[in-house]
Every structure is written in C-alpha cells, then in structure tokens.
Structure 1
Amino acid sequence: MTSIFRELGEREANDVRLPACESYFLMLYLEDAEHADIRSDGSCTPVRRFGRGTVCLVDLADGAAIRLNSRLRSLAFVLPKTLLGETAELSPDTEQRRLVCRRGEPDSVIHNLGTALLAFFSGNGKAPSPAPLRPVAVAICAHLLHRYGEPIETSGGEAPGGDPREDFGAALLPMATRIDRAKAYLANHALSLEDIAYVCGFGDLEHFERAFAGETGVTPSAWWRASLH
C-alpha cells in the first residue's frame, strides 16, 4: 500500500508505469484527476476524468502505464493473486475468481477503508509494516472478489450473450438494480455512456439506452443532464 501525491511536471514526462507481475493494482482517487492509459505501442487513449472516491482496478499481468493530465493524489494497493486465492479459501461462500478491471467506478467501501488507512502513513508516504495491515488487506480482497469477481472459467470461453465486452456479473442482476447502478454512475460524471453500459451489464449502448428509458421514462443522456443541476 502506498500513498501517492504527484504534481504535474512542466518539463519531465508525466508518466506512471508499473511493471508486470502476478498481482492486481487498485487505486483510490483521493481527489479528482485526469489521465490517459498508455497502450503497449506507446500511443495513449483519450484523457478521462476520474472523480474523488472512485477506483481503478487493473490486472498487472502485462504491466500498466498512465500519462497524467493533472496532479495525482491517491492511495494505491498492489494485491498479489496468491492473496486473493487465500482470501477465497477463508470463506466457504467465496470461490476462486478473477477480478474484472474497472475504470473510475464509485466504491464507497474502498473509499471508507482508504480514508481510515491514511492515518497509518508517516510523512514519507510509506505504510507501516505489513503485519497490522494484513486483516485489512484480506477485507479488501474479500470485497473485491464479491463485487468485481467473475468465474475463472466460463462455458466455451464466453458468458451468456456472446459479447466479450459485457460485464457478465452485472448482467445477471435484476434490471432495476442495474438501472439504479447506472444512475449512480451518471451522477458521478466520471464514465462515458458506453462505459456505464459495460459495467452495468449491457452488451451495447443501444440496449442500455432502451432499457434505461423503459425503466425511467427518460434517456441516460437526459438523466445525466438533469443531475448536473
């Protein structure tokens, strides 16, 4: 666990790179930030805004890199996959799962835990010895497995629906629950409509817009505009 506070430099490169390893990387944004992902070919995705209290979760199997467009103040966790496996074994209700990557998703549990954990840090940004933090690490892993986990193996390599972009765990939720989740994302203003459709379990934007309008009587865009006021 590391506390990150990085100002946007004027001359040096504003890249943050993480080496490949058998771990997941979880970052909690302590204030609003803007950055782009750096692709493997060196090009960048469009810059996106990530709101305070949201999280990013990525698999470090191939490493990860971002290019900052604002200063970054966050709390970062490197979670070994072996720890996730051990956590799954501690609970009879938790099976071995892989975590589905997330970008800018609100997570009140991680936000509250992260706020409490900031008290552990000294002025150098380094966390104390791992021993007192291990129960917290297990709690974080259990939460991630329950919220973002999906079976490691699926029938035929695909989940129901056949669209590899869809969040299949969310797709199994009742429609009203998925629409409520979408409303929360729209109010946060951190995700695009396409990303919200993905994390709420819809195969494409058209399906999401049709389902949202059917439940609420308005389009997602209209709901988003109303949440600005």
Structure 2
Amino acid sequence: MSVHKHRAALSVLALAGALVLAGCGGSDDGGSSSAPEVSGQPSTATSSPEATSGQTGEATPSSTGSPATDSPSAPAPATASEPTTATESDSVSEPPAAAEPTGTASPSSSEPSHPAAGEQPGGSVASVEACRATDLSGAVSPQQGAAGSVILDLTLTNDGDQACELSGYPGVSFADASGEIIGVPATRSGTSGSAVTVLPGESATAQLKQSNARNHGQVCNPHTTAALVVYPPESYTSLSIPYETQACGNPKIAQLEVQGFGV
C-alpha cells in the first residue's frame, strides 16, 4: 500500500512539472498569447450589458444606441411646423374679403352729378315752399271800373330771403279798424291759375272784383273798412293790407270775387 501511494505522488509531481514547463514555454514564444484561464472565474464577468439585461428583465440602454429610438418614453417628433401648415392652408383656401373685380368703374364716376335739392342745372329753382304771410307784404290798386263794381289788383311781394310759391286762390275779407271781419269772404271766380315762384323782392298778382255797397240798398248794412285781410294760398296765417271802402255787413251778401295767382 505504501508503494502505490509513493507512485501516485510521483505522478502528481510529474504532471505539475509538465504544466509548469508548458506555462514557461508559452511565455517564451513572445508573450502575446493570453494566459489560460485557470483562476476559475465565471465567464459572465465580461458579458455584454445586453446579456445581463436579458437575465434581469430590465432594459439597459446600450452605450452606442440612439436615445430617441431605444427609450420607450422618448418625446415624439417636434410639431412646431403644424400651426404654420394650418395657417398656410387657410390663407390659400380663403380669398381676400375686400377683393373687387378689376376694370370696373365706380358707379359714382359714371353717373352724372345731380343738382342740389330745390335747384335745377343753371341755378333755377325746381321746387320751393309755399309763401308764408310773415314773409309777404301786399298792396291793392284799382285797375278799371264797371257798372256797379271795380276791378282791383291784389299784389303780394316776397320780402324774405328765400324763393317761395303762390299757387291757387288767396283768401280775402274786409276788416274794420279793430281787425274784425266785415261781411263774408271773397268767393272764387274763374280758374285757379298756375303756380308762381316768387323770388326775394319780386311780386305776384291776383285779380279781385268788388261790387258797390249801394247796389244792395238798406239790406247791405254798410260799414266802413280799414283793411283787407289776405290769406296766401295754403296758409293759415294772414297779412293786413290797408284799404278803405264801404262793405256790407249782411252775411248773405258777397261783395268780393277773387281769381287765382298765375292766371
């Protein structure tokens, strides 16, 4: 039994010496070869991060990978160009609101100018208001006599600063010194005539016929007049024209007949 143990020990020593010689021989070849792995370290010490991550179940980013593609929480690509794109499409699809067709003349440039209200080309008066009593003065003058009557001209003058119009019959009555009306107003005779435009300072005339008071006898009930009260056409105010004569106070007797202006 001791002999066998001695031989086994020699074999171990011989093997160890062979290994030592083999190691020395490797270093003599230039020292470029790596030493054999005899330390018994596990190969996982030099394993790549990908292998480790596969074992643990956690994603470990690679040192050479792109963060934008490897990381699941990386932000989406920038969208700063989207508002610009929407604005451009809006401006293309919507034409300018104030666009007008070219080559079209403005209506005002092709229409003739119109005269101002109340005027005609050349400055003549087209339409004016009716004459007011406050802008008029009057006169009465005999023109001719007939059997039992007299023809008078009733003249009204425009004392205002604007043209006015006399159109139709005036209203005429006798009045005493206190302004009280005597008898009945004048009746209308003939035609109403045409409208007369009276410029400032000018006049228009209507004819007035008066019968004599004595023609009617005692039933006339004569009174001495002081004026004629005249209402211009279309007027509710009157003017007084001095005129003295004998007028019948009987309301059934008409002494005055009047024609229209412009006859």
What range describes the TM-score normalised by the shorter chain of this pair? Answer: under 0.3
Structure with the bigger percentage of helix: 1
Q: Which has the larger radius of gyration?
A: 2
When normalised by structure 2's length, the TM-score is: 0.17
Structure with bigger RCO (C-alpha 8 Å, 6+ apart): 1
TM-score, scaled relative to structure 1: 0.19
